[in-house]
Amino acid sequence: MIKSSQCAKNIILFQKLLIEYGTSYLCGVYGDFTPPATGNKISFMALLYNRVAHIELKQQMLESNEKRITLSFYEYFPIDDPQQFRDMLFAQLSILNVFGRIYIATEGINAQISVPDFNMEAFKFFINSVVKSEQYIDLLTGVKQLRLNIAVDDDGKSFWVLKIKVRYKIVADGIEDENFNMDKKGKYVDAKQFNTMSQNPDTIIVDMRNHYEYEVGHFENALEIPSDTFREQLPMAADLLKENKDANIIMYCTGGIRCEKASAYMLHNGFKNVYHLEGGIINYVNNIKEAQLENKFLGKNFVFDDRLGEKIGNEIISTCHQCGKPADTHTNCVNSGCHLLFIQCAECAVQFGGCCSTECFNIIQLPEEEQKLLRKGVDKGQNIFNKSRTRKRNIK
């Protein structure tokens, strides 16, 4: 981990380089960088991957008093060389001591991260230099920039390591139609517009998240697309709504990335009046707080970091998967050979020791070597962080 004083020096130097030489030189930085006008070699982070054990990094994060801000962002824009872009991003975000998970593809970027509070302005400066966006207009400067969705319920302990991966797509959508593109997408609606349109009984509100997300929280009268993956949801949504191609349809998701693509898919399939919630649930909640609007979201918003959820509404709309009592706390089974994601109340957490079943509870009582033998050679398939309804068997 970089010390704050050194990090501050790196940020100042980094900003000067961006201003003086632009991002084109930095896109080639994999180690030492020599600005052409100076001839002086400057050592940036040569390592482009983490070299410290995750358990050690997590412990460092938990013991740190450093204030951090959890946020997410995305942008659909063409990236000619995703690997080069990934390496440049890793080098520069490491300087800023950013943690989190980022996916890069030829279609754009998808990120969930945490940033040290004192580095936030430097991060904004950098990310808006390399990701050109028209999502949001800064009211003070009038400059178009990337929308950063700040977490609703945040203790700064969401991430402890930086992972940046190159993928085929930033959202796995299953779309192979060569004529599909993101240029034609639905219209944004902000929180106020969403609340107004949702009062019309003819407006169809569609949740483009997975079942386990919908289960703990969703908007009033929202339609669930009963699927476990986004790639399955797209054709299902088009089929379920095929008789409503002229209706007003508002699509939403956690941070906006899935519903934006879903709105484009629906328009591509002949739907006429498709909208999507600007910045997703996270941006909606921040907006209603700022504008003191009525909250139309019920329950909890599932998030993809160590928190596993943000409390939004006061109600609990889901139940414990083991005893059936009201509960909205997601957890992963502590048995390393299972790791099922499920909802567990406090009483069952004690009774089952954080496990999803008596079988898993009995396994974790065994010596570690015996547990390893049980896991050895076993193909866990989708059991790791599995969210499918089909795996929520009799977990009692």
For position 32, what pLDDT does the model report? Answer: 43
Strand partners, 221: none
- Which residue in 130, 92, 122 sits closest to 8, CA to CA? 122
For position 391, what pLDDT does the model report? Answer: 44
For position 369, what pLDDT does the model report? Answer: 86
- Which residue in 294, 333, 297 sits closest to 314, CA to CA? 297
Question: Hey, where are the domains in the chain?
Answer: 4-166, 187-300, 330-391
Per DSSP, the chain holds a count of helices (H) and strands (E) of 13, 19
- Which residue in 152, 101, 97 sits closest to 123, CA to CA? 97
> Is it true that domain 187-300 has CATH number 2.60.200.20?
no
For position 160, what pLDDT does the model report? Answer: 74
Would you identify the CATH topology of the domain 4-166? Alpha-Beta Plaits (3.30.70)
Q: 41-55, 245-259, 262-276, 365-379: which has the minimum mean pLDDT? A: 41-55
333 an active-site residue? no
- Which residue in 308, 385, 283, 306 sits closest to 72, CA to CA? 283
Catalytically annotated residue among 7, 27, 253, 355: 253
For position 383, what pLDDT does the model report? Answer: 43
- Which residue in 330, 262, 217, 255 sits closest to 100, CA to CA? 255
Chain position carrying tokens 């609703």: 152
**Which pLDDT band, with edges at 50, 70 and 90, does 95 fall under?**
confident
pLDDT in tens, 61-74: 666 677 888 998 99
Q: What is the pTM of this model?
A: 0.74
Q: Angle 257-268/230-240 helices, nearest 10 degrees?
A: 40
Q: Are 382 and 391 in contact (CB under 8 A)?
A: yes
- Which residue in 224, 223, 220, 225 sits closest to 195, CA to CA? 220
